[in-house]
């Protein structure tokens, strides 16, 4: 697991064992009538909708990490040679997905980004993207 994923899980668990019970107690014993909707929405949202917000953000951070890895390739020739060594597209996509723990569709997107960079780059630079 990446550091960001561990942090997101930790925040969710801490909220689940502290904020959700506190909101439930406040809802049942002390809340005025106009706060009911907000407290109920918070409890349901924390339990069920937290990951629908945080999950895509984590995927974007992982994809950004993969793109930065592509930027650190020393030269275009090294990258072309690395890709032409008999590795197929599926193997490279699987490698990207496993190495960076991202879904295959994001790895496929990162691989196509890499191919676009190689096709448009004709100069020897320390990084593919300036």
Length of the chain: 130
> What's the pTM value of the predicted model, to 2 decimals?
0.61
**Where in the sequence is the domain holding 130, given as residue range(s)?**
72-130
Looking at residue 111, what is its pLDDT? Answer: 85
Q: Domain count of the chain?
A: 2
Task: Tell me the C-alpha distance between 41 and 90, whole Å.
Answer: 43
pLDDT tens across 78-121, in order? 666 656 554 456 677 877 888 888 898 888 888 888 878 777 76
Q: How many CA atoms lie less than 13 Å away from 49 in the CB half-sphere?
A: 6
CB burial of 107-122 (b: ≥16 within 10 Å; e: otherwise) equals bbbbbebbeebbeeee
- Do the domain assignments include residue 112? yes
Average pLDDT of span 10-37: 96
The lowest-confidence range among 1-5, 28-32, 58-62, 65-69 is 65-69
Distances in whole angstroms, Cα of residue 102 to Cα of each of 38, 49, 77, 124: 34, 21, 27, 30
Whether residue 85 is found in the same domain as residue 126: yes
- Do the domain assignments include residue 66? no
């Amino acid at each position: 697991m990446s550091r960001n994923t561990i942090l997101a899980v930790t925040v969710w668990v801490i909220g689940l064992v502290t904020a959700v019970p506190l909101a439930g107690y406040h809802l049942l014993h002390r809340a005025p009538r106009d706060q009911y909707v907000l407290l109920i929405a918070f409890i349901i949202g924390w339990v069920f909708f937290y990951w629908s917000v945080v999950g895509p953000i984590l995927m974007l951070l992982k994809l950004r990490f993969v793109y930065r890895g592509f930027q650190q390739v020393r030269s275009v020739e090294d990258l072309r040679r690395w890709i032409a060594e008999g590795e197929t597209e599926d193997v490279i996509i699987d490698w990207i997905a496993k190495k960076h723990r991202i879904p295959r569709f994001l790895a496929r997107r990162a691989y196509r980004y890499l191919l676009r960079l190689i096709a448009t780059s004709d100069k020897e630079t320390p990084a593919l993207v300036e």
